[in-house]
Structure 1
Amino acid sequence: MLVWERPEPPERPVPAPLSRERIVETAIRLADAAGLEAVSLRKVAAELDVGPMRLYGYLATKEELLDLMVDAVYAEVRPTGEGWRAVLRSVAETTRQTVLRHEWLADLLGGRPQLGPHVLARGEAVVAALDGVDVDLVMPVVGAVNAYVIGAVRREIAERRAERATGLDEQQWQRANGPYLERRFATGRFAALEKVIRDGAHLDADETFQLGLGFVLDGIEAHLAR
């Protein structure tokens, strides 16, 4: 039986009250502070001041704990708006905001579908908004938006982590690498790239995400209108 349907053990107030919800909240707090490497059944049990074996009454593996954590934060992804485009945009935007609050989520996106109640509720709202679209196109449409969001937020989180690791923000990194690029451009072999870097708009993360998302939604809309 999957963890979503498995009943919890009877409540035991001594030595400390425990529930699946408390376990997940504690794991999320640890991950928010120090990443997924800070999350293990042993570390969560220590934070809750209980023995590690006691957690096995509530979940069987660390993978189940990660599934529960993902589903818990998906409660923050709230589809809103009227029509498929507005709903897909809201899901994309709130997914990004959720990942920026919980950086570890970027490492768990993608792969096999999550089956928790909050993920399923989000999926239901999105698919319902696509009512009337050819049923064979619904999942490819959702998949296209998901693929864009996952790629965009993973890149954004990777840049955050690189900044912390190197101690260089984006402008400092550009200044440090500028002389190298100038030498490369001086060879004349990278004229197209040089023009874009010198003359193109330098958008911030929000602008970049919104523009790319618009490209994806425009493409979907054009295809559905055929």
Structure 2
Amino acid sequence: MAEQAGTPRRTPLSRERVLRTAITLADTAGIESLSMRNLAQELGVVPMALYKHLANKDELLDAMIDMVVGEIDPPPSDGDWKQVLRGRILSARGALRRHPWAALAIESRNMATPAILSYLDSVVATLRAGGLSADLAHHVMHALGSRVLGFSQELFDTARDAGRSGPTTVPQPVALPPEAAARFPHLAEIATAASHDDASVVGSGCDDQFEFEFALDLLLDGIERLRQQGWTSAHR
């Protein structure tokens, strides 16, 4: 039977539509309010319809994170590595400012998502193309920490620490299996480029004390350089 004239046609449900609606909900009400049930209600479908596109809420969160990471500007084809890296990190920060829930969602995942791995791999590629050795790039990635994704873990951020029983770190791409190493070669290169400590809290295989001191010295050296230049915030 032909469709009656004037009857509105329902927009087909797709994975992209589901994800964009979920992101809008999280942007508006926070990630803690997002559920498969209220997402289905927002889309005007029964909850079971969502499972044709996403297996569960974990897959939903991973896909939402990857969509946000996809908003980060790609690296330009040329330019000084520091300016390229600074631009991408600020672009990442812009994406997370548009989606305030994303930092907590990234921290909550036990494993880095494919888009995060791809982004981190491209960051390492920028460092290597800029002349940094694999060893130095390894430690710079530790020093940058979550900043490379556009946010930093604040010492006195009680909201971020609320309800947590132990330390939380950004998922670290270490000990990549062969298939992942082939897909993210720059991450694979730096993963084994430095000394290791199986008991590290920053990621299996990395020397926690060394990475802490390296980042501290790097920041202190930078601060001293700015002091010598007479730098003030008005000169940014």
The bucket for the TM-score relative to the shorter chain is 0.5 to 0.7
Match of 1:10 in 2: none
Identity of aligned residues (%): 41
The normalised TM-score by structure 1 is 0.56
Question: Structure 1 44/142 Cα, relative in aligned 2: closer, same or farther at 3 Å?
Answer: same
Question: Structure 1 142/79 Cα, relative in aligned 2: closer, same or farther at 3 Å?
Answer: farther
Shift of the alpha carbon at 1:67?
0.6
Question: Structure 1 153/136 Cα, relative in aligned 2: closer, same or farther at 3 Å?
Answer: closer
Match of 1:115 in 2: 113
User: Would the aligned equivalents of 2:72 and 2:95 in 1 still touch at CA under 8 Å?
Assistant: yes
Deviations 1:51-99 (A, max 9, x none): 1011111111111111111110112212445233223212221222211
User: Would the aligned equivalents of 1:127 and 1:138 in 2 still touch at CA under 8 Å?
Assistant: yes
Question: Structure 1 77/217 Cα, relative in aligned 2: closer, same or farther at 3 Å?
Answer: farther
Question: Structure 1 134/41 Cα, relative in aligned 2: closer, same or farther at 3 Å?
Answer: same
The structure whose Rg is larger is 1
Shift of the alpha carbon at 1:107?
0.7
Counterpart check, 1:62 vs 2:60: no
Find the residue that maps to 1:109 and give its secondary structure: helix
Question: Structure 1 16/124 Cα, relative in aligned 2: closer, same or farther at 3 Å?
Answer: same
Deviations 1:108-140 (A, max 9, x none): 2345453334x3442232122122432233233
The normalised TM-score by structure 2 is 0.54
Counterpart check, 1:101 vs 2:95: no
Find the residue that maps to 1:130 and give its secondary structure: helix
Q: Which amino acid aligns with 1:126?
A: V
Shift of the alpha carbon at 1:146?
2.9
Give the whole-Å Cα distance in 2 for the aligned partners of 1:217 and 1:99: 27
> Which residue of 46, 54, 61 corresponds with 1:51?
46
> Which residue of 70, 75, 87 corresponds with 2:70?
75
Gaps of 5+ in 2: 1-8, 161-217, 226-236
| Structure with the largest fraction of helix | 1
User: Would the aligned equivalents of 2:19 and 2:63 in 1 still touch at CA under 8 Å?
Assistant: yes
Q: Which amino acid aligns with 2:98?
A: R
Match of 2:24 in 1: 29
Give the whole-Å Cα distance in 1 for the aligned partners of 2:151 and 2:120: 20
Give the whole-Å Cα distance in 2 for the aligned partners of 1:218 and 1:27: 43
Match of 2:230 in 1: none
Aligned residues: 154
